[in-house]
Structure 1
Amino acid sequence: MKNYIQWGTLHLDVQTGCLLVSFLAAFGTVYLKQRINQVKMEEWQLTWNAVLLLIFVWKISYFMLHPFLSIKHPVYLLYFSGGKPGILIGAAAALIYVFIQLSRSSLSLSALLHILCLVGCSFFLLYGILQAFLVKDAVASLFCLVSSGILTVFIGRKKIRLVPIYAVLVLMLGLSSSPFFWLKSDEAKGKAAAVSTTGIKQGDVPPDFMLKTLDGRKVTLLQFKGKTVFLNFWASWCPPCQAEMPEMERFYKENSQKPIEILSVHLTSEDSVQAARAFANKHKLTFPILLDETGEVSKRFHVVTLPTTFVISPQGRIVQQHIGPLNREMMESLME
């Protein structure tokens, strides 16, 4: 199964898509409940504003965490975020905003917590259903559907005791995230990886190739077996590629003592050797730059959008495919 959704040249990571759909559906569910019950919407609007503030701060948090890099490469702010630390910064900003608004108005803290619990439970249940569907786990799908049914009954009632319902939902959410319910899926993935063949899907052995580097050496993919390989496809005219290359170099230097290799395949058939050399010199790249002069290698890996990166395990199997620019933190997370 692909880990991204493609419409022409537009790509969306499946996990990001699931998070986005679950997030919008959860807020839509709570909004619908508020409208059905004909209650005041101030608490709902405050919750919505707080979440939007969290997302905004998370997006610009790269500047807070890496101010000098952001000033040197402003384009980073377009493609990168602050990652997990950025989420914490955004959450802190949202909490401060909520407490300030509560102190200035007559909004009810209990009503706000009620909405937050509803949104959180709705989000995780919807996300669980999507994940269970993607991995085709019937047990987990049924479990999440039953949990959603309980939540639906809860949302449909105007008066209900909160503590017992929230306790049940939290318990079910905890169980749904435990290894017990996802063990079947993990075992299926392990079996699929064991019998995989040559290909470009997750768990496959990628097709081997031989390309020349900028300094004239011949390099094959197979010779790096035993290392974690980031197989990156790029071109000098690609703005996202220009943003990620300095970050890749930073990651490469910081992990120089580890069994990690970056193979940067330049689409020479759509660019030029001179452009690749000038780009490598400008950014002082030290990892191998491979020249795909015929475009054959990029065709084998079905590369449509630049940049595209395949993460290959030391055992020589594809563990991840990422479409779009990477920064150092993202590369580290792909190795986990």
Structure 2
Amino acid sequence: METALLISNGLLWCAVLALVAMVIALARQVGVLFERVAPMGALVTDSGPKVGEAAPAMALRTIDSQAVQLPGAAGTNTLLFFLSPTCPVCKKLLPVLKSMQKAESGWLRMVLASDGDQPEHQAFRQEYGLTGFPYVLSAQLGMAYRVARLPYAVLIDASGNVSAKGLINSREQLESLLTAQELGVASVQEFLYAPASGEHAHAHGHAHGHTH
């Protein structure tokens, strides 16, 4: 009887140890999966002004003949969103832009940018209810930022420097530009995948107090 009890306890402990090993292995797999599905930030390109450099100074006019200065006045953060009336992804993101403009209006100025035929853009602006945005047509602006694909966005900080930029295909990628500025990094990918270092210890000191 005593021998059977010892054997039973031994088997039970073996089962417990096997279960612990399985839990540890599962935890590792979950960590790997998290890295693979971590939020993808805007696809940063190497062309145009680099993150941290001064944004090109330009005096522009909207399609309503209103003056737009880039970068803005001291203390003004500006999100440039390059789009086109013929870009399906741009149209998909328009509700996101409207929502973001409403949520971030206390600290962020949003400017739509494109080039081409003004009547076409006027019609596009009216059809999609974009009259609340400054809307600029300027081939020079697109060339200054080396915009080759759309939609593309550039975030200019309150000091007039490019703080984040990249190709945008989703709400998450657009919001990642704001997150990158809060974290004080060039992109969300840099923050997620770079080795931990002291430079991230004070990242939240760059935050502007907005929420997403």
TM over 0.5: yes
State the Cα distance separating 1:314 from its structure 2 match: 0.6
Q: Which runs of 5+ in 1 are unaligned?
A: 1-107, 126-198
Q: Provide, for residues 284-332 of structure 1, a one-character-per-residue CA deviation record: whole Å limited to 9, x for no partner.
A: 221100011xx22211111111011111111111111121235388265
Amino acid at match of 1:321: K
- 1:261 is matched with which residue: 97, 109, 126? 109
SS, match of residue 325 in structure 1: coil
Change over 3 Å in CA distance of 1:118–1:335 after alignment to 2:
closer
TM-score for the superposition, normalised by structure 2: 0.61
State the Cα distance separating 1:122 from its structure 2 match: 6.3
Pairwise CA RMSD:
2.8
Q: Provide, for residues 142-176 of structure 1, a one-character-per-residue CA deviation record: whole Å limited to 9, x for no partner.
A: xxxxxxxxxxxxxxxxxxxxxxxxxxxxxxxxxxx
Give 2:162's aligned residue.
318
State the Cα distance separating 1:220 from its structure 2 match: 1.8
Report if the CA contact (8 A) 1:232-1:265 is conserved: yes
Matches within 5 A, 1:79-118: 109-110=19-20, 112-118=22-28
Give 1:288's aligned residue.
134
Change over 3 Å in CA distance of 1:118–1:249 after alignment to 2:
closer
Q: Which has the higher contact order (CA 8 A, sep 6+)?
A: 2
Change over 3 Å in CA distance of 1:284–1:299 after alignment to 2:
same
Report if the CA contact (8 A) 2:114-2:142 is conserved: no
- Taking the aligned partners of 1:303 and 1:309, their CA distance within structure 2 comes to 9
Matches within 5 A, 1:17-166: 109-110=19-20, 112-119=22-29
State the Cα distance separating 1:247 from its structure 2 match: 1.1
- Taking the aligned partners of 2:31 and 2:129, their CA distance within structure 1 comes to 48
- Taking the aligned partners of 1:224 and 1:325, their CA distance within structure 2 comes to 29
Amino acid at match of 2:81: N
TM-score for the superposition, normalised by structure 1: 0.40
Report if the CA contact (8 A) 2:71-2:78 is conserved: no
Change over 3 Å in CA distance of 1:122–1:219 after alignment to 2:
closer
Report if the CA contact (8 A) 2:155-2:162 is conserved: yes
Aligned length: 151
Give 1:212's aligned residue.
61
Change over 3 Å in CA distance of 1:248–1:224 after alignment to 2:
farther
- Taking the aligned partners of 2:85 and 2:91, their CA distance within structure 1 comes to 7
Q: Quick one: percent identity of the two aligned structures?
A: 23
Q: Which runs of 5+ in 2 are unaligned?
A: 1-17, 36-47, 183-212
Report if the CA contact (8 A) 2:71-2:156 is conserved: no
Report if the CA contact (8 A) 1:311-1:334 is conserved: no
Give 1:200's aligned residue.
49
